[in-house]
Amino acid sequence: MSNAPDPKLSAENPDPLESAPLAYENDEFLNSPDGRMLRILAEYSEPMARFRRERIQDTVVFFGSARFRALDEANQQLELLENTGSTKPAPHAEQPARAGEPDEETTDLKRTRAEAAVEMARYYEDARTLARMMTEWSSKLPGRRHRFVITSGGGPGIMEAANRGAWEAGGKTIGLNIKLPFEQMPNPYITPALNLNFHYFFMRKYWFAYLAKALVVFPGGFGTLDEMFELLTLAQTHKLAKQITVVIYGSKYWKNVIDLEMLAEKGAISPKDLELFQFADTPEDAFRILREGLTANHLDGEFGIRTEEPIPDTPAPSAQEVLGPDIAKTQS
């Protein structure tokens, strides 16, 4: 008698199956093209939940170069990073010239980079000082929500300086990092609960714009230009349901990079569009512009909150709390 299994019996009695993963625990699905909409929604809902939990009402956004490190007690040698947000240094031939370096290694590019690095290190310190001044001022505003919280792209350079200044003043500070195809890390001065990381550039930009009541643009490259002009375009086309104060920091740098006045002279923009921003060259001037703009547009008095937009004592209720029994309660 044969011991082979009966094919009919096997077909009628298949092996037991393991439980299928829940859809939101299925990494293969979530990371597939079919899961893209859920990933996009997550990059809206998860930051919103954090901002509500941390009582963040609005922000002041700092943009600027991520490629230069600070010159301070911990780092006496200026160093240029390989790419925006990268932790890897640029090649030796592109680094600023350093003291004691052999003459044959000191090229014109390295000399130029050394001069620029000193200038950028100064901007780092200015951004750090301005962020500290803003945080010290905003922390005195009444209300249970945090106002005009310093926000950056979360990386090194000017972004680090902004978060660092706010951290030194004892305030909360936000970092909106972006996942890039090379090694990069958030700077250590971001409030841990407000350390966010995005896959989609457009969702990151949404959060830069949505909460911002002011923008400070320090010297930078492609990313800084992109972010600055995006917000200026939104203001120009009246797509922002608020007044936003824009400070362009470092007039010499920016007027060499782009001639904004010529845009108006040639009719590419209206002369009135030049009123969308102001230049500043010291932390004190930038702070004055920001304080005046924020006070005029979003506060009734220097320390008075607008009465037509009262700040509630608690975060906004969830949809389930609003709709009540129409939505069945679940455990999680």
Digit-coded pLDDT (tens) for 157-181: 899 999 999 999 999 999 999 988 7
Half-sphere exposure of 222 (CA within 13 A, CB side): 3
Q: Per-residue b/e over 115-143, b at no fewer than 16 CB within 10 Å? A: ebbeebbebbebbbbbbbbbbbbbbebee
Residue 322 burial (CB < 10 Å; 0-12/13-18/19+)? exposed
DSSP-assigned letter for residue 242 = S
Q: Is the pLDDT assigned to residue 33 strictly greater than 90?
A: yes
pLDDT tens-digit series, residues 255-309:
999 999 999 999 999 999 999 999 999 999 999 999 999 999 999 654 555 544 5
> What is the rounded average pLDDT of the residues 56-78?
74
> What is the rounded average pLDDT of the residues 186-202?
95
Reference 62, options 318, 322, 325, 249; nearest CA is 249
Task: For residue 215, give the 3-state DSSP assignment.
Answer: strand
Q: Using CA atoms, how far apart are residues 46 and 43, in angstroms rounded to an integer? A: 6
Candidate ranges 78-92, 96-110, 220-234; pick with highest mean pLDDT: 220-234
- The structure's pTM equals 0.78
Q: Name the more confident of 130 and 71.
A: 130
